Each structure stands twice: as C-alpha cells, then as structure tokens.
Structure 1
C-alpha cells in the first residue's frame, strides 16, 4: 500500500503541472512559462523499502512524462523486476520502465556519465551520494539525494510520556531500526529521564522477534552480518564509555541476523552512537538539562534529515521547531513518512524533495517564452 500510494498520488499530480502567464513588461510582448519533462532519469534505490523507494522516485518521473532506469540495491533486485512486470501488465509502453542489475560500480558510473541521462535520483549513504554527485558533475545532471540521517528524538519535561514512548517505538524500532528517519539519539530531559526510560523498557521488552511470517512478530532480522556487527560495535563503544544496558544488548537466541531490541542509558555524548547512524534496534538515551542544550545537541551533527520532539507548551513547540536544523520534524508524532508531504533533508542529508506537490518538480524543466510583435 505504501509503494502504491506514490503511484496514485503522482498520477493525479501529473494533471496539475501548471505553467504561468506573466504580466507583460513591455508593449507588444507576452511572457509565458511552461514546464516540460526533463528527459531520461535514473533512480538508484536502497534495500530497506525495496518497492516504495522505487515508486517514490519513478512515480513523479513517469507522471511528468519521462522515461526511467531503475538500479535497485543488490540485496533486493527482485522487487524492482516485479514492479517492471506489473508496469508491463498495466500497459506501460516499452522503454518507459527499465531495470538494470549488476555490479554497483559499473552500473553507477554508466548512469552518472551517460549524457542521455538528464536526472539522477538516489537514496543511500552520504558517502555514496558525494561520489555520485562528483560523477554527475561533468554532464551537469539535475540530482536529488536522500542521504544519511542522525535523527534526534527529544522528550521535554512537559511531554506526555506515554505518547512519547509510542512515538519512540514507532520511530526507533520500525523495520528493526533500519530506516533513514529512525530516531538515532533519544534526548530526555533530566526531570523525566528515569520515568521515560522505565516506560520505554516495558514497551521494548514486549516486542516479539522472529520471522515476519509468524503471528504477532514485530521485529525481524537485520539485513546482513555486517549490520549486526555495526550494532555490536556501537553498543560496545557506548558501554566502554560508561553507558549501561537497560534491556537487550546482544544477538538474539534465534541466531542469524536477529538482534535483541536494546536500550542504553546514560550514554555519553562522545560515544560513537551519538555521531554515527546505527541502522539497528538500539535506543541510546542521552540526558539534557534545558531547551537550549537540547537544541544544541540535536543540531550537533552534519546531518539534517528527520527530527522528533515531544512537548505540550505551544511556545516551546514553535521555538524548537524553528531552531532544529532538519528537513522534517515530527512534533508529538513518531511516524512522518507519507506521499502527501515533502520528504528530504538539509545539510549533508541531501538535496531536493520527494513526495507532495514538490516531488514532480524534480523531473521538470522550466521554459520561458517571450512573444513579441503582438502590437498591444
């Protein structure tokens, strides 16, 4: 349903690609602005939402009138191939939906260097995004980049703690912590720190780890052994620096890539988990004293994709929302992704927006027509 929502949304947005008629600046002249498809686009997509990350990029491109090339993640190529089959069955003309698989280095270089590709859209790490931007530079491609995050999740002392726990669970443990907008640093004000930690512990220990096809399972495995090792590294570094394990903290008894949902308390700000995206089911709890410190900690990162905070004071809500350097902010809300709103970040978290009425603009070129000799 999530993947289909982008196709439905942009199918309708395609009807609303409006131009402009600008009031004339001289006698006998008319000024018209039109929007045209940019041309061939290439979409390089990640593994964590193998269908939705494709439709969020291809939906607006196709609706704008472009043909596209999908380069799916090597871990999840079959979702892209299945979507191509569905596009064919739906009557999409040959050559509009194209999928290529294979070594990422070779395919990526072709997509970034080929002058026929006029637009590149990518979701993935900031490191790879920098490389793709550099490779696109010689042909001056239009790009949109949805890159790494390090989302703060702030709980102020006036927050509804039960609601904050629900939001933290949704933001942190969705997809076993493997989303780019997952809460990576949970900042809790001193006055409610212990109460929030206790409530979160109860909720986390109620999660059921297992095969997603089994009844009542809420947490699946991590993507590969390397992901498990990164989670272990972050936990080991934090505990070495003084953090304590509230619950979890080790590989799950099921084996494989399963990991116990984890909470760390009293995590110091110099821990690796404060600066690096974990991409796993670990909730590190950091303390803060006041609003100014919370904002400073939230912004103490080169990334600015998503952020969250829970508070009830209306003045605080506006002050904090305006001060946090992030492209998206959930205020008393832990789930923010939807096709109707603009998705994207600031700083080193990316360029451009996906979804909403803005998403289709990434696949359009603006053309200005100056008509003279009209006479009046």
Structure 2
C-alpha cells in the first residue's frame, strides 16, 4: 500500500520544512482526517526561490534543445514507471477515483513527451531583404515563470506548467494547491531524477494571496501562468499588470451542452453521465448546462437522472467507485446552497441534491431541471456534480442560451446534422468545442478559453510558445 509522504517545499534542490514555519493540514476528503502537515513559505523562502529562479534561467535558456528534450522524455518515462504510487497519492489527497488519477499520470507523461518534441520545433524565420541586409525573427524563452496550479487535477495541472516552461528554456516557481502538494512534488521529482538542474524548478506553498503578491511584485518574474477561478484570475491579472508581466489565464467555465433531437440519445447519455460525475464535477470543462431540444427533453432528463442516481459514490481507492468525494469541505457546502437556491426559484430535483453521510465531503450526483435563469447555479460555475437541464424550442434559442454567460471555455453539441455542426462551431463562443464528443483535450491541442474564461493557451505548440517571446533582428 502506498503511504502518504512527508511534505516539504523545494528550493535550490533542498527539501525545506520545519524551522518554525506555519503549516497547513492536508486532509483525506474521504474521512476529513489529516494526512500530513505542509510547511508554508515565509518571505525569506520566496526571496530565495526568486534568486534561484533567476540563476536557473541563465543556466536553462542556453541549454541545447536536445538536452531539454531528453530531460522531458526521461521524466515522462519515470511518471509511467511510478504511475501506481503517484495515482494513489493523488487520490488520497484529492479524492477522485484512482482510475482517474492513473489516467492523469498517463496524460502528464504524454504532455512531457509532446513538449519534448516541441523543443526541436521552435522555429524562427528569415525575412526577404535586399542584398547586403538580413532580418530574422526568433523565439526566446520569456524568463522566470510564476505558476499557480489548482487542486482539481493534482498531477496534470503541475505537469502542464512544468512541461511548457522546461521545453521553452525558462525557469519556474511552482505554487500548487496546498490541498494536493504531494502530487505536484511527485511530478517535480520525476524531472529532477531525469536530470533537470535543481535551479530550474522550485516548489513553494503558502497563503495564496501572500505568495502571489510577493512573486508578482518581483521584477524577476516575467510570466504568470494561472489555472483557477475567474475571480482570482482577475485579481492576479491586476497584480501582474504592475510589472507588465505576461499572463496565461485558464479560468472558470460553465459548459453548455446542446442536445438536438436528431442525436443518438443513448450515446449522448452514455457520454454525458460519466462526463458529469468525472472528478465529482470539479472540472473546468465539465458539461454543466444541458440545453435540450424540447421534444427530447423528457427522455434526456429521465435518462440522466437514472444514470446519475445509480452512480456508485465512495472512496476513490475502491476500484468499484465511480465518483469519489469532493476535494474539500467548501464544495459540498456550495452544492447545498446552489440546490436550495434553485429549488426556491422553482427548479425540480430529479435525483440527488443532498450530502451523503456525515463523514468526508460526499455529495450526491444531482439532476436539476426546469431551472429559472435567475437561479444562482445558472449563472455561477457550480464546480460539482450538478447537471442542469432545461428545454428549448429552437436552434436559435439554444445557441443564445449557450452564449448567454460571459464564460467561454468549453462547449459541446450533439447532432447528426452536418450543416448544423458547422453553424454551431462558428456560433458558440468558446475556446474549445466538442461535436458529438466530450473529448476536447490532447497534448497536441491548445487548451484555452475566451471572455471570462481567460486567455492564452496551455498544451499544444501554443502552450510552449506561451512561455516565449519574439525577437526581430535586423542586420546591415
């Protein structure tokens, strides 16, 4: 059995803990019991991390592409070798089923392998000039990066940020969520063991506002990469603006799913139900607002209620579990408030709607239907296992509802009408669109939102280029 590890920060290759530092209790969401105490950074720790990151950038920016690629490939291999232990630790601290955290390991390894290939594909260009003149355009690493990763993908989120920075030739200070530190440390250790110089990547934890203000207030940091809520993203963007720090913001969503009457309803339900309960709905691209053509509304609503109601909820380490607990006590509290508010507005609860037991952070997979648009859950990202289902008469009304909110991360649509598919691809305002699929991410595809869901890309060539700047050089 995998044991939960002792916790620390990593600065200049040193495991930093103790010393009278404040601590944070990392808890098991199944039981609410403390797994370990996490040391939190003080200002001196952050100053040291910044100084090391500056040194690390000077080392890594000039490291040959082949060497950077070799480190990433080796780290990917180590993630695969250690996948069972990494997955179990991630489940202990975040709660999702171990099958999901193991898939997260594989995705992280795949991203490292793809980023390694991008090391060799960072091409510039030469411009056409008269004889005797020469102008070139090249890409350079942006500099030291401050990266903030949330708890919902405790392995994948740190991997995205680490892989892009390492491939681009940047140094990085990673602050992952205090709820899930061991997962991030496990991924970072794979990079160290693969040969990454200790100065290139640091890991700190702390009071989020203190850490963000300290790092983003430093002239050393040249890029901010943040994944999290829109509210926090807007706050960090303001801090970054004071030093003109470049930003990549992967923020909240409120995923619309347009279901038309010509779709294969069994296929839609077989995809939508597990998509909704994946990580207990704590996914920024989770399918959430089901916008259903009215003549199939009843069939879809009842089918979702049947499937979600039959979901096996339990300990993520149990191989029979289909949905684990929510990650922290704030989430079931939020679900109760959303459901109560929707019911007060006249919404119907078709299944679920309540906590499960009095131990841990479990909440029932829930279907709400016929929900007035002024209900809080129809306007704020629920980030939980709530499926919101409403009927609509026409394609135009369905598109209007999909675009009603300022969020634009992921959208989905189910229809066999090819012309309609093209219209939806054009008209639904999101950064990623799934047509007859909920699979919208891959290491070679950009992952990004529009409007309040952020800007900039992770994954794909775009994710590496987001850690770089363009320089034009003119010679005569």
Q: 1:138 aligns with which of 217, 226, 242?
A: 242
In the alignment, what sits opposite 2:267?
A: 163
What secondary structure sits across from 1:213 in the alignment? coil
Say if 2:289 is the partner of 1:185: yes
Shift of residue 205, structure 1, vs aligned partner: 2.4
- Provide the C-alpha distance between the structure 1 equivalents of 2:164 and 2:297, rounded to a whole number of angstroms: 43
Shift of residue 201, structure 1, vs aligned partner: 2.1
Q: 2:310 aligns with which of 184, 190, 206?
A: 206
In the alignment, what sits opposite 1:6?
A: 111
Q: 2:439 aligns with which of 321, 332, 335?
A: 335
Shift of residue 27, structure 1, vs aligned partner: 4.2
Runs of 4+ in 1 over 3 A off after TM superposition: none
- Provide the C-alpha distance between the structure 2 equivalents of 1:76 and 1:319, rounded to a whole number of angstroms: 41
Q: 1:95 aligns with which of 186, 194, 199?
A: 199
1:107-152 CA distances to partner (integer Å, 9 max, x unpaired)? 1112211111111100001111111111111211111000111111
In the alignment, what sits opposite 2:147?
A: 43
- Provide the C-alpha distance between the structure 2 equivalents of 1:262 and 1:80, rounded to a whole number of angstroms: 31
Q: 2:334 aligns with which of 219, 222, 230?
A: 230
In the alignment, what sits opposite 1:215?
A: 319
- Provide the C-alpha distance between the structure 1 equivalents of 2:244 and 2:457, rounded to a whole number of angstroms: 19
Say if 2:411 is the partner of 1:326: no
In the alignment, what sits opposite 2:126?
A: 21
In the alignment, what sits opposite 1:112?
A: 216
Structure 2 counterparts to residues 282-293 of structure 1, below 5 A? 282-293=386-397
CA-atom RMSD, angstroms? 1.2
- Provide the C-alpha distance between the structure 1 equivalents of 2:218 and 2:154, rounded to a whole number of angstroms: 25
Shift of residue 53, structure 1, vs aligned partner: 0.5
In the alignment, what sits opposite 2:65?
A: none
1:157-179 CA distances to partner (integer Å, 9 max, x unpaired)? 11111111123124321101001
In the alignment, what sits opposite 1:62?
A: 166
What secondary structure sits across from 2:466 in the alignment? helix
- Provide the C-alpha distance between the structure 2 equivalents of 1:89 and 1:265, rounded to a whole number of angstroms: 51
In the alignment, what sits opposite 1:365?
A: 469
- Provide the C-alpha distance between the structure 1 equivalents of 2:198 and 2:346, rounded to a whole number of angstroms: 59
- Provide the C-alpha distance between the structure 2 equivalents of 1:230 and 1:64, rounded to a whole number of angstroms: 39
| Number of aligned residues | 371
What secondary structure sits across from 1:357 in the alignment? helix
Say if 2:181 is the partner of 1:77: yes
Structure 2 counterparts to residues 303-314 of structure 1, below 5 A? 303-314=407-418
- Provide the C-alpha distance between the structure 2 equivalents of 1:83 and 1:320, rounded to a whole number of angstroms: 38
Shift of residue 210, structure 1, vs aligned partner: 0.2
Shift of residue 254, structure 1, vs aligned partner: 6.4
Q: 1:269 aligns with which of 368, 373, 382?
A: 373
* TM-score, normalised relative to structure 2: 0.76
Shift of residue 223, structure 1, vs aligned partner: 1.4
- Provide the C-alpha distance between the structure 2 equivalents of 1:232 and 1:315, rounded to a whole number of angstroms: 41
Q: Name whichever of 200-209 and 119-128 sits farther off.
A: 200-209
In the alignment, what sits opposite 2:35?
A: none
- Provide the C-alpha distance between the structure 2 equivalents of 1:326 and 1:156, rounded to a whole number of angstroms: 19
- Provide the C-alpha distance between the structure 1 equivalents of 2:230 and 2:197, rounded to a whole number of angstroms: 34
Structure 2 counterparts to residues 141-156 of structure 1, below 5 A? 141-156=245-260
Shift of residue 82, structure 1, vs aligned partner: 2.1
- Provide the C-alpha distance between the structure 2 equivalents of 1:167 and 1:353, rounded to a whole number of angstroms: 26
What secondary structure sits across from 1:358 in the alignment? helix
- Provide the C-alpha distance between the structure 1 equivalents of 2:368 and 2:249, rounded to a whole number of angstroms: 32
In the alignment, what sits opposite 2:363?
A: 259
What secondary structure sits across from 1:154 in the alignment? strand
- Provide the C-alpha distance between the structure 1 equivalents of 2:274 and 2:413, rounded to a whole number of angstroms: 13
Shift of residue 244, structure 1, vs aligned partner: 1.3
- Provide the C-alpha distance between the structure 2 equivalents of 1:288 and 1:102, rounded to a whole number of angstroms: 46
What secondary structure sits across from 1:224 in the alignment? coil
* TM-score, normalised relative to structure 1: 0.96
1:258-296 CA distances to partner (integer Å, 9 max, x unpaired)? 111111121122211110111111111111110000011
